[in-house]
Amino acid sequence: MRWGDMRRSENVEDRGGPSGRGGMPLGGGMKIGGGTLVVLIILSLVFGINPLQFLGMAGPETGAPPPPAPQTTAPGSPAPGAPAPADARKDFSARVVGDTEDVWNALFKAMGIDRYPPTTLTLYRGAVRSGCGTASSAAGPFYCPADQRVYLDTAFFDELSRRFGAPGDFAQAYVIAHEVGHHVQNVTGTMQKFERDAQRLDGRARNALSIRLELQADCYAGVWGHFAQRRNLLEPGDLEEGLRAAAAVGDDTIMKRTQGYVVPDAMNHGSAEQRMRWFRAGLKSGDPRTCDTFGVAQP
Ligand SMILES: [Zn+2]
């Protein structure tokens, strides 16, 4: 991917630092807002994560391994003299975010919406406090509708490569574009409708609905990829990287807070086949209207 040619977004905040997982206490502290169904969409990267921990309601987990040491596979493999990997990652992320801003700005204009309100990407290491509670790196990348931010532990890029066998810069960009897709759902009202509808459903039906939400974000990531491709920002092998990543995270996890407890059956996000298919649909069309995962009988 020729990400060096993409515009760097200002909307990236680095809360990194060498804090590791001990950087922020995870126990207690968080109050669950009453009544409102808050939906956290995350890509689950570590199987066996304790959802309570993600919500900041349990003590630090002991079962999961610590996050990998930083700075192993920075995007773009900076040459000697290039910025340190942490900076390279921030630069990479900022350029991908910037490119999604350009694409969604144009798409919103085409849809007659005045302006695309950009999301902010928060990079962190170890743990982070978000508008949706405290998250540990084990939670994986997620979008918080309450503060309209995307959260990404930079160690995730290593995870994607090492643990999920989906290396490559476009694989990383796909994940960012997927989370930006959730932001698009949020600012267009899809997420609010989803939350309203989901509240009325039982666990199984709610789960099926959440899969549609996830697959639409995959499709939106594909829509971004379509325009990246059209502007010759992709290189041979990039699309395969993206598809591999879409398949690799087929087990991603959604977590919901409903009056202070986690709905455990809301943890299925569609199969690898579904995720690749919808990513491909957006990639092919470049048109968000083809991402109507809620309108089809079987997504
Ligand atoms: Zn998602």
Q: Name which of 7-16, 77-86, 168-177, 184-193 the model is least confident about.
A: 77-86
CA of 197 to the centre of ligand 1 (A): 18
Rounded to the nearest angstrom, the distance between the alpha carbon of 110 and the centre of ligand 1 is 25
Whether the model pTM is above 0.85 = no
CB distance 257 to 293 below 8 Å: no
Instruction: Please say whether the beta carbons of 132 and 144 come within 8 A.
Output: yes
CA–centroid distance, residue 113 to ligand 1 (Å): 24
- Residue 144 CA: distances (Å) to CA of 16, 182, 282: 18, 9, 23
Residues 37-92 pLDDT 10s = 334 433 333 333 333 333 333 333 333 333 444 333 444 444 444 445 678 889 99
Q: Which residues are 14's β-sheet partners?
A: 123
Residue 156 placed within a domain: yes
Which domain range does residue 162 map to?
A: 3-64+83-288
72 within a domain of the structure (yes/no): no
What separation in Å is there between the alpha carbon of 39 and the centre of ligand 1?
11
How confident is the model at residue 230, as a pLDDT?
Answer: 95
Residue 231 backbone dihedrals phi, psi, to 5 degrees: -95, 20
- Answer whether 26's CB lies under 8 Å from 59's CB: yes
**How far apart are the C-alpha atoms of 12 and 270, rounded to whole Å?**
29
**Is 260 in contact with 232 (CB distance < 8 Å)?**
no
Whether residue 70 lies inside any domain: the answer is no
How many angstroms separate the CA atoms of 32 and 286, rounded?
Answer: 38
Q: Is 226 domain-assigned?
A: yes
Task: Tell me the CA–centroid distance for residue 69 and ligand 1, in Å.
Answer: 26
41 CA distance to ligand 1 middle (Å): 5
Which DSSP letter does residue 187 get? H
CB neighbours of residue 86 within 10 Å: 18
- Going from the Cα of 241 to the center of ligand 1, the distance in angstroms, rounded, reads 18
- 238-286 confidence digits (pLDDT tens): 988 888 887 776 544 333 322 223 333 334 677 778 888 999 999 999 9
For ligand 1, the distance from its centroid to the CA atom of residue 163, given in whole angstroms, is 19
Look at residue 78 and tell me if it is in a domain.
no
Element (H or E) spanning 143, and its range? strand 142-144
As for how many domains the chain has, the answer is 1
pLDDT digits (tens, 9 = 90+) for 184-203: 999 999 999 999 999 999 98
Distance 47 CA to ligand 1 centre (A): 16
Is 180 within the bounds of a domain? yes
CB 138 within 8 A of CB 64: yes
- Tell how far the Cα of 21 is from the centroid of ligand 1, in angstroms: 23
3-state DSSP call for residue 220?
Answer: helix
